[in-house]
């Protein structure tokens, strides 16, 4: 069953001489529980696609259905809820708040949750334990190793139990051993039912995925 259906998607930035066509009629279907590597040269539209799927950016044209509902029909508050509840984001530079400790960084997506504080604490403890960093919960983000930072970023991404995890070069700042550990974590999350899309240049990362989607010049290449 498809959770994401994209048809003839376009995205243009700027206008006139500065116009950039990031996506040019891209179509893609993602099944529930899939794990996909999105690959292609720099500037091919990979990150743009991920941002549109995650409702961070809007397409210029085309159709995007999320769980069989047109994304255009969501209002602003629904879009904000989607970003916070439906999706978990993992990025190359971790995007942690340096002056926060691990616990507070992972708490960020739960800030607007109506759950009782005890349930929030229990959930954070569970994901930190799941990722092997529970003992680091009081450590400041700036004092963590690269691998620990990415684990915190993944914990933050999954603390709201999203259906879809979007990862943009999640091992790009890591050495090969630590990168493999992160991919093992993502693979386990996929086996537990999460749908995962990973933008990567690394064939080793792609080898963890169920399929590879190659993008060239803003379209899926055949």
pLDDT digits (tens, 9 = 90+) for 42-81: 889 999 999 999 999 999 999 999 999 999 999 998 998 8
Are 197 and 50 in contact by the 8 Å Cβ rule? The answer is yes
CATH number for region 33-58+78-220: 3.40.50.300
DSSP letters spanning 75-124: -HHHHHHIIIIIEEEEETT----TTSBHHHHHHGGGTT--S-HHHHHHHH
pLDDT digits (tens, 9 = 90+) for 13-43: 988 888 899 999 999 999 999 999 999 998 8
Share of the chain above pLDDT 90, in %: 83
Average pLDDT value over all residues in the chain: 93
Average of per-residue pLDDT across 155-178: 94
Burial of 36 (0-12, 13-18, 19+ CB in 10 A): buried
Three-state DSSP state, 163: coil
At residue 84, the pLDDT reads 87
- Can you give the residue ranges of every domain in the chain? 33-58+78-220
Q: How confident is the model at residue 96 (pLDDT cuts 50, 70, 90)?
A: very high
At residue 47, the pLDDT reads 93
Q: How confident is the model at residue 127 (pLDDT cuts 50, 70, 90)?
A: very high
Q: What is the pTM of this model?
A: 0.93
Token readout for 51 is 């941002």
């Amino acid at each position: 069953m498809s959770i994401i259906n994209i048809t003839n998607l376009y995205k243009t930035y700027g206008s006139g001489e500065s116009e950039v066509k990031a996506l040019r009629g891209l179509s893609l279907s993602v099944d529930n529980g899939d794990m996909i590597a999105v690959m292609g040269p720099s500037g091919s539209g990979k990150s743009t696609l991920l941002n549109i799927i995650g409702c961070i950016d809007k397409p210029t044209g085309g159709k995007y259905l999320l769980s069989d509902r047109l994304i255009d029909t969501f209002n602003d508050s629904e879009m904000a809820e989607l970003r916070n509840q439906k999706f978990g984001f993992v990025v190359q530079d971790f995007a942690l708040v340096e002056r926060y400790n691990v616990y507070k960084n992972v708490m960020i997506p739960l800030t607007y949750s109506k759950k009782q504080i005890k349930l929030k604490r229990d959930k954070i403890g569970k994901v930190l334990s799941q990722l092997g960093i529970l003992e680091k919960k009081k450590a400041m983000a700036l004092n963590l190793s690269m691998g620990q930072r990415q684990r915190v970023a993944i914990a933050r991404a999954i603390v709201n139990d999203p259906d879809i995890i979007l990862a943009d070069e999640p091992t790009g700042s890591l050495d090969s051993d630590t990168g493999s550990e992160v991919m093992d974590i993502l693979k386990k999350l996929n086996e537990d039912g999460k749908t995962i899309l990973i933008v990567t240049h690394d064939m080793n990362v792609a080898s963890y995925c169920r399929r590879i989607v190659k993008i060239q010049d803003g379209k899926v290449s055949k």
